[in-house]
Amino acid sequence: MSKLIINGGNRLSGEIPIGGAKNSTVALIPAAILADSPVKFDSVPDILDVHNLMLILKSMNVSSNFKEDVLSIDPTNIIESPLPSKAIKSLRASYYFMGALLGRFHQAIVSFPGGDNIGPRPIDQHIKAFKALGAEVSEHDGTVSIKAGEHGLHGAPVFLDMVSVGATINTILAAVKTPGTTTIGNAAREPEIIDLATFLNNMGANIRGAGTDVIRIEGVDTLESHSIHTIIPDRIEAGTYLALAAAAGSGIRITNVIPEHLESFVSKLIEMGVNLKVYEDSIYVAPSSHLKPIKIKVMPYPGFATDLQQPITPLLFKASGRSVIVDTIYPKRIKHIPELNKLGGKVKAEDTSEGIIVVDNSPKLVGAKVSAGEIRAGAALIIAGLMAQGTTEISNAENILRGYGNLIEKLTDVGADIKLEVEETV
């Protein structure tokens, strides 16, 4: 158990560098077991999810080494082995081992993954894709068993009933070494999917259309790495710090970003009246006043990301009126709301079936004891705590550390009074 202690009210200034994308990293690490050679990644974020994935690799006799921001993985001596259920259940992205193991061994047995509880996130689209590729799937006592049918795995058309990043990635992982042509229709278009396809293609895969809603995969026999893969910058981390800079900054530059990945988010900041300037690989946020209320509709990429609806909420407290957020992807993603209210925020879930959240002007935030129910809810609490007068204590901080590398260092460097306290459990 860990907690963050924040003494708020300071105006922050300086630079915040963005690390590699969490949502790329958690797909790339399982993808590494498809390689027939050692692989290397750099710009790897130092987050708990990475260390949990390394534990899962170790259980399969896959060695890995993480130093500074470089992660080396050697899957050449991989063995089939039951995966550690504790690590599997600690993060949802562990379900990418379903596709990766199916692609490598033509079978996979994985405990039902855990991660943040942000409402229903079924894996029916993943299972539908595996079955289309010729796999048989069964589930018993929270364990999913996937194995090639009597005719083996084969390329096939897959049409996703709903846009799903997870199902798109898992289908790519299962299909990349499967004979024949696989076509994914209604595929997710996120930059992290392009990053995964780039990594695999550089090893000899034949994936076309990543970044569009139709992805075509010609199965190949082998994948071999010949160079280090640099992970793209984390657009969700960048958006979080952009919101922080607008809410509590007196001039902050967010560096190592790809502005094109943030267009939907930045456009909303501009609509509010945030004073910012976009450069080739950085965004500078100057002090802003007279912010206007806005309406946000969360949509699949390139729309406004669901992972950023919580971090932007504290900034909406500064708007001169009522803002409305509609989360069409995870309408029950509201764990931040009661906690922000403890700090003096005026925010409520108006309709959880439709994902409607109403945020009113909240001119005075005051420190309090709150709990981080999940990663992005915790990020919202950090921003609100930095805005608030007095001391804010955020428990369950390990949830935040799953997604934000070098958090204390980055915030301290811009003048935040924040520290992490870890309680040893017996």
Give me 45's structure tokens.
């974020």
Rounding to the nearest 10 degrees, give the CA dihedral for residues 204, 209, 152, 124.
130
Q: Is 258 left (phi over 0), alpha (psi -120 to 50) or beta?
A: beta
b/e sequence 240-277, b meaning 16+ C-beta within 10 Å: bbbbbbbbbbeebbbbbbbbebbebbbebbeebbbebe
Alpha helices by DSSP H, 367-413: 375-387, 398-401, 407-413
b/e sequence 45-60, b meaning 16+ C-beta within 10 Å: bbbbbbebbbebbeeb
Q: Which H/E stretch holds residue 27?
A: helix 22-31
Residue pair 296/324 in contact by the 8 Å Cβ criterion: yes
Residue pair 367/381 in contact by the 8 Å Cβ criterion: no
| Cα–Cα distance measured from residue 278 to residue 87, given in angstroms and rounded to the nearest whole number | 39
- Which of 49, 74, 116, 307 is catalytic? The answer is 116
Q: Give the Cβ contact number of residue 175 at 10 Å.
A: 33
The answer to whether 124 is a known catalytic residue is: no
Q: Longest Cα pair distance anywhere in the chain, in angstroms?
A: 66
Residues carrying an active site annotation: 116
